[in-house]
Amino acid sequence: MIHRLKMEISFEGQNRRIHEVPAERKYWFIRTYGGEAYNSYLKGGYVGVGYNDVPFRYIQKATFDEPSSMEALTRYLQNRKDTNPRRISRIANQLVSFNNEVSIGDCVIIPSRNSDILALGTIESDTFLVDKPGTINVNGQIIELPEKRRKVKWQKSIQKDDPRNDIKAVTASHYGITNVSFYSDTIEAIVSSLYIKDQQACLVIQIDQDEEINAFELNRFLSDLTYFYHEFCSENGTLLDEDLRIKIKLQSAGKMLLKAGGYVGILGLATMISLSNNNKLKVDAKNFKVEGSSDGLLKSITDFFDRNEERRERAARFDDSIKNLKANRDTTSKLIEHVTEKSKESRPQEKGKK
């Protein structure tokens, strides 16, 4: 039996629920006609797949489990004048994947022009059709936007070439829709810096050091990190099996992913790093006391250090390492609040299924 745990962290007077990743979640990279549909997708809160002339009923009947169910769709594409015979199977697979394989709750990534910016969101609906999809200009040719769509809640955007994101590999495919679930850890690290996945708490620590990283400083940071993970777990009576895993990809700036079954240990580390980087709070690193808030969590962590002298001493060293490495929980992604480029597409109207 799988028990879903909902965790909340109270910080600066705000309650924030820690993001839990569904075990069945998949990740998709969907192209945008060379970036021309990027603004429409963001502004309209959807993502789509082309070939509007293909009857939806053929796609609905097709499944990968039964090859014979693909016959009507394949036959239609074969009789279509503009279809390259070599691409029939690829087109059919993309249409069926969009309708059958993509699910509500899955993560979707789309690229802007030249793939400079990538937007990430969550699928919120099954496939639906629109009457007037609108048009875009692709290489001087006016074409319709996709009529077959799924609603999306867009969440964040990132610069593809920022080395801290490490997401270039996701964009390597030239297919219209690609399953990129292999990169789930990389993608989730962009969506949230603290989350639960596969019954493990995951903490993303970003290193913003622009210069070469001092090996001894990194060693001290990792030593104190494992020490405090152990201390937080022990303090709260959590069974410690030393299964704290770290995934690091650093040259200078980069990200570090921690995974562990000891939720309270990860939460404690997240809190320490957040406090070290919060200019609104006054942190006494030597005695590890926090001023400027009466929040219960902050009081609890202050009491945690007051009970043990070694904790206070190592907390001061850990705080120095955090600052020297410029380690923080902030991601390089931004919330999507508006579309920067003017959109010329008309507002679509939904229609019934064909």
Mean pLDDT of 231-251: 75
Backbone angles phi, psi at 142, to 5 degrees: -85, 120
Quick one: 347 exposed, middle or buried, by C-beta within 10 A (0-12, 13-18, 19+)?
Answer: exposed
Same domain, 188 and 203: no
Same domain, 161 and 44: yes
Mean pLDDT of 282-299: 44
Start-to-end C-alpha separation, the chain: 41
Same domain, 36 and 97: yes
Mean pLDDT of 6-11: 41
Please state, in angstroms and rounded to a whole number, the distance separating the CA atoms of residues 219 and 74: 58
* Cα distances (Å, whole numbers) of residue 34 to 48, 176, 211, 224: 14, 10, 35, 47
Tokens of 349: 């109207």
Same domain, 236 and 89: no
pLDDT at 350 over 70: no
Q: Among 22-36, 262-276, 320-334, name the most confident range.
A: 22-36
Please state, in angstroms and rounded to a whole number, the distance separating the CA atoms of residues 85 and 77: 9
Q: Count structural domains, the chain.
A: 2
User: In terms of residue numbers, what domain contains 219?
Assistant: 196-328
| pLDDT for 143 | 95
Please state, in angstroms and rounded to a whole number, the distance separating the CA atoms of residues 262 and 52: 49
SS3 content of the chain, % helix, strand, coil (to 5): 35, 25, 40
Q: pTM of the full predicted structure?
A: 0.79
b/e code 163-192 from CB counts within 10 Å (16+ = b): ebbebeebbeeeebbbebeebbebbbbbbb
Comparing 31-40, 44-53, 136-145, 273-282, the range with the smallest average pLDDT is: 273-282
Same domain, 217 and 311: yes
For residue range 127-152, list pLDDT tens digits in order: 999 999 999 999 999 999 999 999 99
202 within 8 A of 250, measured Cβ to Cβ: no
For residue range 195-209, list pLDDT tens digits in order: 888 888 888 888 877
Same domain, 160 and 276: no
Q: Among 200-204, 240-244, 332-336, 349-353, name the most confident range.
A: 200-204
Same domain, 173 and 313: no
Please state, in angstroms and rounded to a whole number, the distance separating the CA atoms of residues 42 and 105: 17
